[in-house]
Structure 1
Amino acid sequence: MGMPRDIKIIDCMLGIPEAEDRSEWFAPFRPLIKDQQTLSQFAMPAQYMFKDIPQTGTVDDFVSWTVDQMDMYNIDKALVGWNDNATSYRAKEMFGDRFFFDLPIDPNRGMEEVRRIKRIHAEVGLSAISCFPAGTLPQVAINHKYMFPIYACAEELGLPILLNAGIPGPRIPMETQKVEHLDEVCWFFPDLKVVMRHGAEPWEALAVKLMLKWPNLYYSTSAFAPKHYPKAIIDYANTRGADKIIYAGYFPMGLSLERIFSDMQNVPFKDEVWPKFLRENAMKVFGL
């Protein structure tokens, strides 16, 4: 059977645009980029990987517009990045039942960042924190000592951490995101829920091996059109990993919801996997 139509979907990576021009989403790591094609031609640094990047056009209210897009595809709730600005506060105030929030963090800020996480969590009620290791400046690896105060803070607060793993899409070095780095983190923080983002390729088989090893390690499908979900991940979800694989999209950063859910019809998950993948695993991991 294909994807059921009656599941209220939870999308664990969705964005609320600030404006028609979304280049500010990628500003923090733009100084790392050296190739002229990216700097002069791309609206987003990984544009070479995506075709038909969604265009919003002129919109008066991006928060309401985003909810309208979710409604068209039966997305009940969406995890979005908290930016500590007017858009984030409006999203929480107007649609607190539709959005839950992760806080993107910078481990280079040390204890100042730990204090910021605690302050925003006390005010907002975060559901996770997140880090793009290859996009930190300077770059900080998943298992680098600068990350350990962040992990300790997340575990203390009971928050999962979302980590980009695998070769980054932007043309920046990959060393910080090698999947093998997760082994040490999951060992040292056994009560910290760690969720991989952005594919873990080309080490997806290692990602599966580590999920078998560590109960606190999960995988989300962010930034991948469903037709490109790694076979190792699909096979794992259909066997021992049904509780470990979580749906996450990439709208409107790189994929349209139309593209995602058109492709999704052909993903060969077993019937019993779909409710967990589309909703139940997110409810469990993020405490919804």
Structure 2
Amino acid sequence: MDCWVNTNLGAPEGDANYLFPGLAERWARGTTLSQLCDEMDAAGIEKAVLVSGYGTGDTLSWVKDAVNRFPERFAASHIIDPRQGMDAVRLVDSLVRNDGYRLIRMMALMTQKPYDDAIYFPIYSKCAELGVPVSVNVGFPGPRVPSKCQDPFALDEVCHFFPELKIIMAHGGEPWTDLCVKLMLKWPNLFYMTSAFAPKHIPAAIIRYLNTRGADRIMWASDYPVLTFERCMKEIAGLEIRDEETLAKFVAENARKLFFSA
């Protein structure tokens, strides 16, 4: 099976270990590039999206090195802090133009600002100009911080203002998953990624949308090491997905088009 994952490296700020058995040990262990490739091979995973700018250590150099060594296997993404203003805009421009980054991420749990706040708009504008997607966390965050800033309804304004910008809702969207579906029905460049949700816990509204009108809009991600590849593969096999074509889009093809197409 060809699958894509959203891979975080380096222990994060904030504690979500209470949600995922064994996560603290996986963070403490760390992950070498050879370990990551071996675990992907064992699970039948061909490609991964790596994340820099999250947690401790020099994740930026780690991710750049991985992509440079295995460009056919890895794409790069980076978590941007929009509160840094023009420094953040210049960083996005450099990462995309000079280092081939394919995704820019932002997290309201970090900024404590909703996604229609003015601080994000320079980043949205730059990403629209560069033709690179933006991923934002939606729903209650795992770390114990206030949650209302991650209400996906704020993306209604963003999608209207930047119709050409591809936006990916990540990390589940609960308890607003029905709203996530409504927004995707309305805005053609809005997508949903299941990162940090064990496949067996993917909300029913998302599976229904995947099996009907949303086959091109929903993609699986593990948020490794939050979830192990082995667990994800076992649980994906138990999902009620209508046919092999829809399954292929969910685990591979939708991500291929967004992150690995020229």
Give the TM-score normalised by structure 1: 0.84
Percent identical pairs in the alignment equals: 41
Name which one, 1 or 2, has greater alpha-carbon Rg: 1
Query: 2:259 — aligned with what?
Result: 286
Gaps of 5+ in 2: 54-58
Instruction: Find 1:91's aligned residue among 63, 66, 73.
Output: 66
Query: 1:9 — aligned with what?
Result: 3
Conserved 8 A contact 2:7-2:48: yes
Q: Does 1:150 align with 2:123?
A: yes
Conserved 8 A contact 2:75-2:259: no
Conserved 8 A contact 1:134-1:141: no
How far apart are 1:56 and its partner, in Å? Answer: 7.0
Query: 2:56 — aligned with what?
Result: none
Conserved 8 A contact 1:107-1:140: no
Work out the CA distance in 2 between the residues paired with 1:104 and 1:57: 21
- AA of the residue aligned to 2:71: G
Query: 1:55 — aligned with what?
Result: 26
Conserved 8 A contact 1:142-1:176: yes
- AA of the residue aligned to 1:94: R
Query: 1:261 — aligned with what?
Result: 233
Relative to structure 1, is the Cα distance of residues 233 and 146 closer, same or farther in structure 2, using a 3 angstrom cutoff? same
How far apart are 1:224 and its partner, in Å? Answer: 0.5
- AA of the residue aligned to 2:257: K
How far apart are 1:93 and its partner, in Å? Answer: 2.3
Classify the secondary structure of the residue corresponding to 1:263. Answer: helix
Per-residue Cα deviation, 1:201-237 (whole angstroms, up to 9, x for no partner)? 0010010011000001000000000110000000000
1:183-222 counterparts in 2 under 5 A?
Answer: 183-222=156-195
1:23-172 counterparts in 2 under 5 A?
Answer: 25-26=12-13, 30=14, 45-53=15-23, 55=26, 62-83=32-53, 85-136=60-111, 139-172=112-145
Conserved 8 A contact 1:198-1:224: yes
Relative to structure 1, is the Cα distance of residues 75 and 147 closer, same or farther in structure 2, using a 3 angstrom cutoff? same
Higher relative contact order by CA 8 Å / sep ≥ 6: 1 or 2? 1
Conserved 8 A contact 1:179-1:207: yes
Q: Does 1:238 align with 2:211?
A: yes
Query: 1:34 — aligned with what?
Result: none
Cα RMSD, aligned residues only: 1.7
Query: 2:242 — aligned with what?
Result: 270
Per-residue Cα deviation, 1:173-204 (whole angstroms, up to 9, x for no partner)? 11211011111111110000000000000010
Relative to its length, the structure with more helix (as a share) is: 2
Per-residue Cα deviation, 1:2-57 (whole angstroms, up to 9, x for no partner)? xxxxx31122x11345xxxx3xx22xxx5xxxxxxxxxxxxxx1122112326377
Give the TM-score normalised by structure 2: 0.92
- AA of the residue aligned to 1:9: C
Work out the CA distance in 1 between the residues paired with 2:28 and 2:91: 34
Query: 1:37 — aligned with what?
Result: none
Conserved 8 A contact 1:16-1:66: no
